[in-house]
Structure 1
């Protein structure tokens, strides 16, 4: 619950470290929301595919319903990043839905499972705890909706058609993630003999993929559109970013299915993505020297903690993972 807002907001620099008190605003939607997702996945027997789909669900709830950023023509100036399609801010949607899948949902859950390996395969909560978590998560959505859009985008309300569309997609993805995929995945494939590179190579590959994906979509350095493009040329970096995401996902899926894939490889993948996204934040999201120094210090602390976790995983868990993660 604490890792999620720290990873998603503060280690990227979108929320300056000097405003760390905002974690009180973020914990209900980020912390309780992702805890709810983890509990539902563990209770229904879902796997990595379920986690990815529920990450999209989380992104649609936060960005589409709470912040209204997927459709707003004014919020954060994201409408000018790329051509809008059916009222959707396309580049912003591609960037943020993928970002939430990886950094808001998957990485915090994986880190918690690595820190507490004995609890990794089962739910944390009883029934009353699950109901309470869902209630606070819903409150978090309402809190974010009531606090940010009225200040950043006063007067805008997401169109009814878009809202119904978001709700329909959320229902379909949730049903697929929590019912269809677990049902279809009961007969899991056997581990393969695919060669797996060293954890250092895995971390480097994930870091490069993260930098490429974010650099292609997120305008920085004074740019108003993705990758310093103009007009419809913005579609080019959008396609390239999608190709990077698909290639990275397919590669990780193949590696993680191998018998040689261990928890150290999993942590290396997480570490590479986290370090790269903080480095990108230093370039794109710090606007004062103080913010840059604070984010750099936070990045160093993050690296130290990840190194300590790597040593703990190496010393206490030499076994291989029994199924793809």
Structure 2
């Protein structure tokens, strides 16, 4: 049940919590994108927990997934026509203000997509499902070897289906760049060890920490585009990392940090259109459903997580 819950939640968070699809599209999202997003989230958690690692490992592996997903699977990072027929066509054009010549991609889009995959597609769903699980199984592996192999096969099949919709767009140089970056992130994740420092009581409560992270997240909406706006967003993300590393010491702190990203995405859904134009009433219903679901999940995760000291590792 835990694996299924993470599989479904990761898929929904990846494409729906921020308003990418309406409620009528949820079954198709689960069918076609579940093997891609859900499988990866479960596998990343499994690798981290089997190695005795924690959040640094999961963040690095999720970043590697984000780079591969945007660069090689759906190829939206390099395919300028990927969003041309969607409601995000204007943002796609505006993102060219941070164009990286030679490699042919927008630095803004790379940052946003990888960041969202780390936060929404992988880490926030893991944090919620682990918090809702029994304490004895929160930090242990959940899959058998057959389960791991099965999810790897599902992920490969999901990637092939997703890739076949675009065909080959990327050049050999772009493929090499993506593979080098992804390999570096994976290597860093596998070499990351849990911190040796003892766990301690945080001087900042989890609710205060969550509000601080949410304020930073919402504030980043107003930084504008271009290189300046991107630079400010990077600084904001680094500030979130500093806040989390410095003060997250319990299960509720972890839920508060990652949950702030879900809240930000659910709020942003009211301001962002889905990929395909939809009736206003349907968008409102979908956004309200997403907000209520996020609130309910975080309330349950908050109550189940308690004050058990875990540290952000």
TM-score greater than 0.5 by the shorter chain:
yes
Aligned to 2:37: 30
Distance 1:250 1:214, change over 3 A: same
Q: Pick from 220, 225, 241: which aligns with 1:249?
A: 241
Q: Pick from 2, 5, 9: which aligns with 2:11?
A: 5
Quote the offset at 1:319 in angstroms: 2.9
1:1-325 → structure 2 map (5 Å cutoff) = 1-21=7-27, 22-76=29-83, 77=89, 78=92, 80-81=94-95, 82-85=97-100, 86-116=103-133, 117-147=135-165, 149=166, 157-178=169-190, 180-182=191-193, 185=194, 188-192=196-200, 195-196=203-204, 198-214=205-221, 216=223, 227=224, 229=225, 234-256=226-248, 261-285=249-273, 288-289=279-280, 290-313=282-305, 317-321=306-310, 323-325=311-313
Cα distance between partner residues in 1 of 2:287 and 2:132 = 24
Distance 1:38 1:91, change over 3 A: same
Aligned to 2:40, the other structure's residue is in SS state helix
Quote the offset at 1:269 in angstroms: 2.2
**In the alignment, is the contact (CA less than 8 A) between 2:50 and 2:141 conserved in 1?**
yes
Quote the offset at 1:194 in angstroms: 5.2
**In the alignment, is the contact (CA less than 8 A) between 1:39 and 1:125 conserved in 2?**
yes
Quote the offset at 1:99 in angstroms: 1.0
Supply the RMSD in Å over aligned alpha carbons: 2.0
Distance 1:215 1:163, change over 3 A: farther
Quote the offset at 1:192 in angstroms: 4.6
**In the alignment, is the contact (CA less than 8 A) between 1:18 and 1:291 conserved in 2?**
no
Quote the offset at 1:88 in angstroms: 1.6
Aligned to 2:3: none
Cα distance between partner residues in 2 of 1:277 and 1:251 = 19
Q: Which moved more, 1:90-99 or 1:68-77?
A: 68-77
Runs ≥4 in structure 1, deviation > 6 angstroms?
Answer: none
Quote the offset at 1:243 in angstroms: 0.4
Query: What's the CA shift string for 1:46-99, capped at 9, x where partnerless?
Result: 222211111111101211111111112222142541231031221110111111
Quote the offset at 1:205 in angstroms: 1.5
Higher RCO structure, 1 or 2 (CA under 8 Å, sep 6+) = 2
Cα distance between partner residues in 2 of 1:133 and 1:277 = 27
